[in-house]
Amino acid sequence: MRICVCARHTHTCTCARAPRKCLLQVGHESGESPRQPPLHPDVFEAHLASKHFTSDKADRPLVSWLYRITVSSVLGGSQILRYGLSRWGPHEFVTLGSVLPLCTQLQQLRLSNNAGGDTMVQVLLAAAREHGALQSLSELDIHNNGVTDDGIAALSAALSDPQVMPQLTQLGSVGNKASEASLDALDDVCARRMVLLDRWRPII
């Protein structure tokens, strides 16, 4: 099994670009592993410390360098990332959050039908407020992620600042665990920013 770092395939690699993009091969006892978020280059480099290389001095720095430039190039040029139905929980979203600052041209982020909960919202907001990420984002889909009133309230407070996701025009939040009152408050914030809040059906 190959782990691919291209924007479309971060799980078992079947893409045409596999010979150039797949930098790490791993086994999985059950045959097929869930799709995983891309690792930050610093985290990947730390993982390499536990791997055996034929030539430690030559191979380890080369693999680390190749991964860093590939991830930076692929994520930096990606306008759409689709991670719906990836079976992700809070841990995977923390991993994703670490690479969001690399996604400088990202316009659409689809995260529906996972189990990120309020942690997912916190990760997105931390990336936006603390690291200046998601500056080009126009569409965010977080429906069916188990987000509660706390997560929606945090999102409402953050979006009250026009510098957070300044290009946002559409937000999907269908099927979460928030109350109508929380969604009404978020709707008010979105209306002031001319952001369409889709709370009834997922973004297509």
The reported pLDDT for the residue numbered 50 is: 85
Q: Is the pLDDT of residue 147 over 60?
A: yes
Rounded average pLDDT over 160-182: 96
Given 60, 77, 94, the domain boundary residue is 77
Q: Is the pLDDT of residue 19 over 80?
A: no
Rounded average pLDDT over 184-189: 97
Band (pLDDT 50/70/90 cuts) for residue 12 is very low
User: pLDDT for 107-127, tens place per residue?
Assistant: 999 999 999 999 999 999 999
- The pTM score is 0.81
Burial classification of residue 204, based on how many CB atoms lie within 10 Å of its CB (0-12 exposed, 13-18 middle, 19 or more buried): exposed
Helix, strand or coil, per DSSP, at residue 66: helix
142 and 188, same domain (yes or no): yes
Distances (CA, A) of 157 to 81, 137, 139: 25, 18, 18
Position 117, amino acid: G
CA pair distance 103, 72, nearest whole angstrom: 8
What end-to-end distance do the CA atoms of the chain give, in Å?
Answer: 31
Q: Is the pLDDT of residue 73 over 60?
A: yes
The reported pLDDT for the residue numbered 59 is: 87
Where in the chain does DSSP place strands (E)? 2-4, 22-25, 80-82, 108-110, 139-141, 170-172, 196-198
Please give the residue that has the higher pLDDT: either 155 or 14. 155
Range of the domain at 2: 1-77
The CATH number given to whatever domain includes residue 178 is 3.80.10.10
Task: Name the phi and psi angles at 14, rounded to 5.
Answer: -130, 5
Domain count, the chain: 2
Q: Is the pLDDT of residue 29 over 80?
A: no
6 and 71, same domain (yes or no): yes
CA pair distance 3, 9, nearest whole angstrom: 8
55 and 120, same domain (yes or no): no
Q: Is the pLDDT of residue 2 over 50?
A: no
47 and 84, same domain (yes or no): no
70 and 6, same domain (yes or no): yes
